[in-house]
Structures are given as C-alpha cells and as structure tokens.
Amino acid sequence: MAEVGVTLDTASRAREADDPHSHVVQFRAEQPLRLDAGVALAPFQIAYQTYGTLNSARTNAILVCHALTGDQHVANMHPVTGKSGWWETMVGPGRPIDTERYFVICPNVLGACMGTTGPASTNPRTGKPWGLEFPMITIRDMVRAQAMLLDHLGIDSLFSVAGGSMGGMQVLQWAASYPQRVFSALPLACSTRHSAQNIAFHEVGRQAVMADPEWQGGRYFAAGTNPRRGLAVARMGAHITYLSDAALHRKFGRRFQDRDNPTFTFDADFQVESYLRHQGISFVERFDANSYLYLTRAMDYFDLAADYDGVLANAFKHTPTRFCVVSFTSDWLFPTSDSRAIVHALNAGGARVSFAEIVTDKGHDAFLLDEPELFAIVRGFLDGAAKARGLPTVPR
C-alpha cells in the first residue's frame, strides 16, 4: 500500500460536506429530525440533485436512493472525482428512468459526506466536525429525512422510489413507512435485513478504519490526519463482496500486472491486486471514514420485520404500492433468496408485485452496470405504472 499517496485535500472534502455542489435544504432548529437513537438532530441539511421537470400535478417524481458509497450525483459529473454519474446508464433522457418524462430527485443520505449532515459536517454547537459525536442513524432515519425534503419540495406522493443495495433498503422502508406516498417501488439487489455474513464483512471494514493510527479515535480532522489506509483496506474488502468469483476470474484471472514473472515481493504482481488497490485509493479521495462507519452500521441495524412484530408481511399489509423486485444470480451479498423473502411478504400482504431474477456473473454490482435485461424490466415496469397513474406517454 506504499503508493497510497494521493493528495487528499481534507479541506476541500470538508467543504463538500458543508457546502456541496448541489441543491441544499436547511432544516432549522425548530424542524428537528427525530432519530431512532432517541435524540433529535437539528439543525441539519440535505443536499440533493434533480433531473427533469416536475409536472404541474406533481405526480411524476421519482426518488432515487443511493447505495452505501454512492451519492446524489446520479447522472452528472461528480464534483470531486470528475467522473460521470453512478447511474447514467439508468437515469437520463431516453433512459429507463427517463428524465424527459419523470422528475428525478436524489438526496445524499443522512450520515453521508457529500452535503447532507453527517459526521464530516460541522457541528453547529462546537464549530468542529461532528466526528463520533454524530448520533447513530438508521435506514428509517434516512427515509424520515427524505420525507422532510419531499415535504419541503411540495411533493406529496412519489410516482416511484428506486434504488439498489442500501438504496433498496430505503425503498423498502419508504414503502413500509409511507405507503400512501409511494405509488411504485423498485427495490433492487437488496434485503429487508442485513445478514450475519454482511454484518461480519462490515465489521471487518470498520475495524480496518479504526486500526489506522490516523483515525485518531474519529477526530482526524482536528488532528490533521486521515485514515486513508484503513478506509482503503475497508473498501478493498467490501469491493470483493460486490463482485463474484466468476467475474473476478473473467476480468483478471491469475494474470500479472505489467510484468511477465512474479517479482517475489509483496508488490501488486497480480492484476486483481492492482485493481483492488486502485479501488481503495480512489475511494478515499471522495469518502469520509467516519461516514463509512455510520452508514455500514445503519445497514447492519436494518431489520424491517423487527418493527412489525417480526412478521415481514405486516410491514406491507394492504399496501397500495406496486413493487418490482429484482435480484441477480451471482449476487452473494444480497442473494435471490433475500429478494424472494420480500416477494413472499408482499404476496402475503396482497401487494401487486413483479419479481425478476437476472442471470449475470457480475455479482451484487450488476444493478449499477450495463444489464440490458434490467433496463428492459425497469422501463417496462415504470411504463405500466405510468399508465396506471395516468402519466402521459409523450414527453410534456
């Protein structure tokens, strides 16, 4: 890891946390967010991006929920990395989530580091970054905050809520918490609860961050350090879980990186090592280590059925929402059996549900990648829902 030496501009990242390149809504002290942890967060802010135009009846809004390490920059250039948006294949003009037809909103989640209040944001009481003084948050808290954003935007009912992985958890929470506000829901590659294996992987990632001496008990901003090595290792480990054995083999096999023979050192001899190191390094450029701790924790705590006497079907009883659940054959982080459990609960609740499993070797990350079958399914599902909602087929 010797070459993890990318200039990490702590100041500019802190700026992005407080003063992002996005729309921002500030919620004042008298509009607190009541958290599951039993405390109120106030004041706080939400950063979000929008695409397309809200129709006059306010019926064409789609909320996109991002995953653990995603952010609100769905379909525009990322202000920190300069890369294209993380879901540009799915969201945009003429894309399955067609911004010529729908109004797309993507907020940065609570606890993240791209402008919505999180541990990297400045705590107004101290004038310093929150760090570990930031209260513990849950998926439900994220969704509560998003509901406040929609209230602010004057959107009573969403045409759809879509997202994969942690975004899918938010979709499910939306449907359970606010069924009357969700006309249709697209939970992709997700689960109603984090498995023991997934909690275990997250714990390894958190321990990697906390084992980095530069983490400084979470007060690295004050110490002028940054646990970039720990966070990079966490990202490397997690990234393996987003792929699959078959995909790694197809992409890298046992091939060497820029050399013909092993060097008999701990250099990145193998292409797969080089790739993972790159993933780790590029991640720490744009992500806050404490945010990673908080968001992984929120996913670990997610257990939708627990809020409904342990019966998942009760979460969706008499739901008016139409669902389209999608899983991927090679996803071992959120396997098809997790999606099936969602479908069973929805059926038991009498919900209108579609469920498709897509054959791919791309693993969990398949929901972010070029999967024509996924695009066809999302497009078809939204078309059907739009017809039922009476949205015009032709762009405004």
Partner 1 sequence: MMMLSRLKHDLTMAEAARTPGGARVDLVVVADMVEPGAKVLDVGCGDGELLRLLAETRGVDGRGIELSREGVNECVAKGLAVIQGDADTDLADYPDDAFDYVILSQTLQATRQPRVVLEHMLRIGRRAIVSFPNFGHWRIRMQVFFRGRMPRTDNLPYAWYDSPNIHFCTIKDFRELCLVAGAKMEKAVALNPWGAPLRLNAPWWFWNMLGEQAVFRLSRRA
Summarize as ranges the residues that interact with partner 1 (CB under 8 A): 322, 324-325, 343-344, 347-348, 350, 352-359, 373, 376-377, 379-381, 383-385, 387
- The active-site residue out of 121, 160, 165, 339 is 165
Q: Which is nearer to partner 1, 46 or 382 (CB)?
A: 382
Place of tokens 């202000």: 79
DSSP label of 100:
T
Please state the closest distance from residue 383 (CB atom) to partner 1, in A.
5
Which tokens sit at 164?
Answer: 């994969």
- Give Cα separations from 174 to 43, 264, 316 (angstroms): 23, 52, 11
Q: Is 177 a catalytic residue?
A: no
Pairwise CA distance, residues 301 & 163, whole Å = 18
Phi, psi of 109 (to 5 degrees): -75, 155
Q: Which is nearer to partner 1, 54 or 313 (CB)?
A: 313
- The active-site residue out of 98, 331, 338, 365 is 331
3-class DSSP assignment, residue 202 = helix
Q: Which is nearer to partner 1, 201 or 367 (CB)?
A: 367
Q: Which is nearer to partner 1, 52 or 96 (CB)?
A: 96
Q: Which is nearer to partner 1, 237 or 349 (CB)?
A: 349
Q: Which is nearer to partner 1, 101 or 297 (CB)?
A: 101
* Helix-then-strand count for the chain, H and E: 12, 14
Which residues have C-beta within 8 Å of that of residue 300, sequence separation ≥ 6?
194, 198, 199, 202
Please state the closest distance from residue 308 (CB atom) to partner 1, in A.
16
Please state the closest distance from residue 306 (CB atom) to partner 1, in A.
21
Q: Is 73 a catalytic residue?
A: no
Please state the closest distance from residue 118 (CB atom) to partner 1, in A.
36
Pairwise CA distance, residues 146 & 163, whole Å = 14
Whether the CB-CB separation of 141 and 33 falls below 8 Å is answered with: yes
Please state the closest distance from residue 175 (CB atom) to partner 1, in A.
15
Please state the closest distance from residue 188 (CB atom) to partner 1, in A.
13
Nearest Cα neighbor of 294 from 134, 117, 165, 174 is 134
Which residues have C-beta within 8 Å of that of residue 169, sequence separation ≥ 6?
139, 187, 190, 191, 192, 299, 302, 304
Q: Is 239 a catalytic residue?
A: no
325 C-beta neighbours (distance < 10 Å), count: 26
Q: What angle do CA 139, 345, 359 make, to 5 degrees?
A: 85
241 membership: H or E segment, kind and range: helix 228-242
What residues form DSSP beta bridges with 98? 92
The residues annotated as belonging to the active site are: 165, 331, 364
